[in-house]
């Protein structure tokens, strides 16, 4: 790859638009593999779908870096005689989000077919129906078929994975929307670290294992087994996390905010981070004059939680880029937040060997 042509914004577009609900992340892995191949010593994929890249180090100690490749999605549960699809959810959805969105499904042969989450217009709903809301299992997807046979001809089958489909776009100067910044922005952070190591911008004596983790959104399923195999002394997870500085969320319930820089985890629902790890991260930010924020305890959970409880216990932490509207098809980020997240992450990677 020609390094001069590398654009982080273009890479985020590619990653965010790639199809990758949990367990169906081949397209995301293919982009990452092709991007990082020149910068690492070897790459393998394990039985679950973790893509694990290694960079040799002078020390025999191992640093695991992790970002998850999956996004939340849906799965075909039922196809009725008129060709309408009912779906199950993959990962943590808010059921209010679904109606009237576009859906993209992948068939068993890898082809895509498209649909719209149908909804009854307000004209035909009773006041009680409007009030109550609809659970996800009662939504249907219209894929343009008029019978079960036509649905079959389009490739639809029980078990097909799908996502709500939205393109990446620039909404305002420095503000971007995309369907899967959780956690493709973490993948991009990890890609940026591997690039910086390869170009000699940063150094570490540690052997690096970059785990692009499968199936985080369905209960941190990939990272734990990957950590078991890698057997690291220390680990850092990279995320896109819960920016909630907008109307309707009181100040004391905002896990983090846009435009305030990288988010350092002290505690979330999956992990309590050892103080020396948090201290290293805040020292790195302060000494480099980078903005940072502490994620409000204890919202969310990350792969740091799955990794720290692996084997005999692994020193783990998490750095995230604030993203608004995660777990919706229009996650939104402020580009300097990403740049500062990457800058802090690179510093932490270059100094984390001092902890082990």
- Residues with a catalytic annotation lie at 216
Of 40 and 321, nearer to Zn ion (C-beta) is 321
With contacts defined by CB under 5 A, name the span among 82-90, 183-191, 229-237, 278-286 that binds Zn ion: 183-191
Strands 175-178 and 331-334, sheet pairing: antiparallel
Q: Measured between alpha carbons, how far apart are the two ends of the chain, in Å?
A: 34
Q: Which of 182, 81, 92, 94 is nearest to 139 (CA)?
A: 94
76 vs 164, beta carbon nearer Zn ion: 164
Q: Give the shortest CB-188-to-Zn ion separation in angstroms.
A: 13
CB of 262 to Zn ion, least distance (A): 15
Nearer to Zn ion, 182 or 268 (CB): 182
Cα–Cα distance, 196 to 205 (Å, whole number): 14
Classify burial at 286, counting beta carbons within 10 Å of its beta carbon; exposed 0-12, middle 13-18, buried 19 or more.
exposed
Q: Which stretch binds Zn ion (CB under 5 A): 35-43, 146-154, 159-167, 182-190?
A: 182-190
Per-state percent for the chain, helix, strand, coil, to nearest 5 = 35, 25, 40
Q: Which of 71, 183, 268, 337 binds Zn ion (CB under 5 A)?
A: 183
Q: Shortest Cβ contact with Zn ion: which residue? A: 183
Q: Does the footprint of Zn ion cover residue 337 (CB under 5 A)?
A: no
CB of 327 to Zn ion, least distance (A): 9
Q: Could you tell me which residues come within 8 angstroms of residue 131 by beta carbon, excluding any fewer than 6 positions away?
A: none
Beta carbons of 320 and 188 less than 8 angstroms apart: no
182 binds Zn ion (CB under 5 A): yes
Which residue's CB is nearer to Zn ion, number 141 or number 319? 319
Q: Could you tell me how many residues of this chain bind Zn ion (CB under 5 A)?
A: 2
121 φ/ψ angles, rounded to the nearest 5 degrees: -70, 155
CA distance 52 to 209: 6
Looking only at residues 290 through 319 of this chain, which bind Zn ion when binding is defined by CB under 5 A?
none
CB 239 to Zn ion: min, Å: 5
Q: Under the rule (CB under 5 A), what is the footprint of Zn ion?
A: 182-183
């Amino acid at each position: 790859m020609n390094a001069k042509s590398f654009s982080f914004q273009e890479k985020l577009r590619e990653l965010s638009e790639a199809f990758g609900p949990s367990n169906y992340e081949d397209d995301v892995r293919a982009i990452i593999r092709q991007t990082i191949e020149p910068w690492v010593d070897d790459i393998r994929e394990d039985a679950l779908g973790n893509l694990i890249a290694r960079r040799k180090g002078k020390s025999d100690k191992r640093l695991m870096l992790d970002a998850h490749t999956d996004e939340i999605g849906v799965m075909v549960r039922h196809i009725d005689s008129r060709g309408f699809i009912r779906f199950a959810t993959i990962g943590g959805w808010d059921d209010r989000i679904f109606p009237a969105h576009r859906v993209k499904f992948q068939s068993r042969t890898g082809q895509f077919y498209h649909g719209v989450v149908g909804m009854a217009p307000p004209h035909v709903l009773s006041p009680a129906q409007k009030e109550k809301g609809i659970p996800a299992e009662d939504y249907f997807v219209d894929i343009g078929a008029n019978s079960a046979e036509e649905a079959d001809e389009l490739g639809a089958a029980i078990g097909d994975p799908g996502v709500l489909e939205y393109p990446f776009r620039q909404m305002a100067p420095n503000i971007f929307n995309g369907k899967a910044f959780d956690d493709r922005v973490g993948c991009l952070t990890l890609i940026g670290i591997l690039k910086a190591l390869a170009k000699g911008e940063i150094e570490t004596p540690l052997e690096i294992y970059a785990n692009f983790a499968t199936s985080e959104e369905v209960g941190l399923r990939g990272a734990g087994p990957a950590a078991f195999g890698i057997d690291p002394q220390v680990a850092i997870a990279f995320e896109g996390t819960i920016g909630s500085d907008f109307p309707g969320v009181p100040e004391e319930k905002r896990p983090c905010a846009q435009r305030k820089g990288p988010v350092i985890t002290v505690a979330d629902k999956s992990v309590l981070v050892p103080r020396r790890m948090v201290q290293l991260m805040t020292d790195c930010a302060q000494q480099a004059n980078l903005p940072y924020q502490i994620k409000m305890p204890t919202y969310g959970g990350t792969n740091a939680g799955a990794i720290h409880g692996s084997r005999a216990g692994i020193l783990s932490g998490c750095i995230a880029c604030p993203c608004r509207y995660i777990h919706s098809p229009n996650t939104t980020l402020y580009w300097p937040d990403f740049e500062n997240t990457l800058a802090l992450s690179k510093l932490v990677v270059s100094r984390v060997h001092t902890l082990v």
